[in-house]
Amino acid sequence: MKKKIKVFTILGTRPEVIKLAPVIHELSKHKKKITSRVVLTGQHRKMVDQFLKLFRIKPDYDLDIMARNQTLFDVSSRCLIRFSKVLVKEKPDLILVEGDTTSAFIASLAAFYLKIPTGHIEAGLRTFDKYRPFPEEINRQLISVVADLHFAPTKRAENNLLREHINPKKIYLTGNTVIDSLYSIAGKKYALKDDVLKKIDFDKKKVILVTAHRRESFGGPFKEICKAIRAISELKDVEIIYPVHLNPNVQKPVNNILRGRKNIHLLKPLDYETFVLLLRKCYFVLSDSGGVQEEAPAFNKPILVMREVTERQEGVEAGVARLIGMDSSRIVKEVRKLLNSRDAYAKMSKSVNPYGDGKASKRIVKAIIDNFQNSRD
């Protein structure tokens, strides 16, 4: 190879740090072939700092874009302008983005304007519903249009890309890098440190781990979710652990509707080691998160998904995830069923892992090297 490949990896939010950390580490193992740099957009601040520390990532650039209660216009405009300056100065050979955030889409758009190629990790997820999840469904479709290398986590995602006439030679079936990260953390010995969590009896109680933060739920649907959680806390032997997302649109209703109940433990966003341990220890998960849908099955934990549609259909088809919508009475009904029926619980606690085998990052970096080698030979 004549010249090293200059690869810039772009991170903005909590799940991007989790999912790109193993890729950044893998890139750094190929110093003879790759110059790797990391750009933090700063779309999230507190929620990424502890993850950067955990995964020992030191960004080369921090665009520092976050503002309280930011709009999509704030995130997009700041990211576009500030990232363009880095690109003009550094002229990388490739940028890598992950998933469906506005940081990821805008970074790929900025690269396109400068005719710099984009590699898209976790490509091909689709609900085909424009507003669900919002704006993620359209962000990832737009990234697919702009991207030059597409790293599909599953066969279904690969098929979606093929149907959209993406060049098959530029699609790589890799698995999802979240499983690489999960294995790297789950392999380490770790005990709960938080005083509230230490007091919970995970053997005698049925512990439900909750997360919720989707933009399309804000307002009425999010209140429904909170009302459901309040009703669930009245069921026998239930403990609810809910690390609350820092978005003010989440904090406000959660605090108004759920604060002050003995068996609802409202916590700050948890570090990854604690969250992964809770995934192992809980009875089941109630969530609207994307990443958590991929992680729960890795620990045989049923996950009830508070959404109407999901781009992670693999878990639903395998029977380990169930779409239950955002209507409070439906959520309570589905939770009751899983709490009370051993049969329903057993059916959803199967050992399947449709999202990866822990080697996705290796495949991605190999594909990058092969691609550039071939194009330069």
Check: CB of residue 353 under 8 Å from CB of residue 297.
yes
Catalytic residue among 16, 93, 136, 137: 136
The answer to the question of residue 41 lying near ligand UD1 (CB under 6 A) is: no
The answer to the question of residue 19 lying near ligand UD1 (CB under 6 A) is: no
Which listed option, ligand UD1, ligand UDP, none, makes contact with residue 270 (CB within 5 to 8 Å by class)?
A: ligand UDP
Catalytic residue among 100, 216, 239, 334: 100
The answer to the question of residue 246 lying near ligand UD1 (CB under 6 A) is: yes
Give CA–CA dist 48/174, Å, rounded: 25
Phi, psi values for residue 203, rounded to 5°? -85, -40
Closest residue by Cα to residue 47 from 107, 101, 119: 101
Catalytic site residue 140? Answer: no
Instruction: In angstroms, give the least distance from the CB of 313 to ligand UD1.
Output: 18
Closest residue by Cα to residue 96 from 177, 202, 206, 2: 177
For residue 330, count CB atoms less than 10 angstroms from its CB and return exposed for 0-12, middle for 13-18, buried for 19 or more. middle
The answer to the question of residue 45 lying near ligand UD1 (CB under 6 A) is: yes
Distance from the Cα of residue 117 to its chain's centroid: 23
Catalytic residue among 26, 93, 98, 122: 122
> Which positions from 182 to 221 touch ligand UD1 by CB under 6 A, shown as an x/- string?
-------------------------------x-x------
For residue 318, count CB atoms less than 10 angstroms from its CB and return exposed for 0-12, middle for 13-18, buried for 19 or more. middle
Check: CB of residue 124 under 8 Å from CB of residue 102.
no
The answer to the question of residue 268 lying near ligand UD1 (CB under 6 A) is: no
Our CB check for ligand UD1 shows the closer of 218 and 345 to be 218
Torsion, Cα of 44, 103, 278, 270 (10° steps): 0
The answer to the question of residue 140 lying near ligand UD1 (CB under 6 A) is: no
Check: CB of residue 282 under 8 Å from CB of residue 301.
yes
The answer to the question of residue 42 lying near ligand UDP (CB under 6 A) is: no
The answer to the question of residue 136 lying near ligand UD1 (CB under 6 A) is: yes
Q: Find the part of the chain contacting ligand UD1 (CB under 6 A) among 11-19, 198-206, 313-321, 357-365.
A: 11-19
Q: Is 255 helix (H, G, I), strand (E, B) or coil?
A: helix
Check: CB of residue 216 under 8 Å from CB of residue 222.
no
Instruction: In angstroms, give the least distance from the CB of 103 to ligand UD1.
Output: 6
Instruction: In angstroms, give the least distance from the CB of 268 to ligand UDP.
Output: 8
Our CB check for ligand UD1 shows the closer of 18 and 161 to be 18
If binding means CB under 6 A, how many residues of this protein chain bind ligand UDP? 16
Catalytic site residue 136? Answer: yes
DSSP string, 94-145: EEEEETT-HHHHHHHHHHHHTT--EEEETTT-----TTSSTTHHHHHHHHHH
Instruction: In angstroms, give the least distance from the CB of 293 to ligand UD1.
Output: 12
Instruction: In angstroms, give the least distance from the CB of 71 to ligand UDP.
Output: 18
DSSP string, 299-315: GT--EEE-SS--S-HHH
Give CA–CA dist 257/264, Å, rounded: 11
Q: Find the part of the chain contacting ligand UD1 (CB under 6 A) among 39-47, 83-91, 121-129, 299-307.
A: 39-47
DSSP structure class, residue 269: P
Catalytic residue among 215, 230, 322, 336: 215
Please select the residue that binds ligand UD1; options are 2, 58, 69, 198, rule is CB under 6 A: 69
Q: Which CA distances in Å does 32 have to 1, 10, 12, 362? A: 10, 21, 27, 16
- Residue by residue, what is the 3-state secondary structure of 160-182? HHHHCCCCHHHEEECCCHHHHHH
Which listed option, ligand UD1, ligand UDP, none, makes contact with residue 246 (CB within 5 to 8 Å by class)?
A: ligand UD1
Please select the residue that binds ligand UDP; options are 98, 158, 295, 311, rule is CB under 6 A: 295
CA atoms within 13 A on the CB side of 291: 24
Please select the residue that binds ligand UDP; options are 42, 119, 124, 243, rule is CB under 6 A: 243
Interface with ligand UD1 (CB under 6 A): 13-15, 43-47, 66-70, 72, 75, 100-102, 135-136, 213, 215, 246-248
Active site residues: 100, 122, 136, 213, 215, 245
Interface with ligand UDP (CB under 6 A): 14-15, 18, 178, 211, 213, 243, 269-270, 272, 275, 289-292, 295
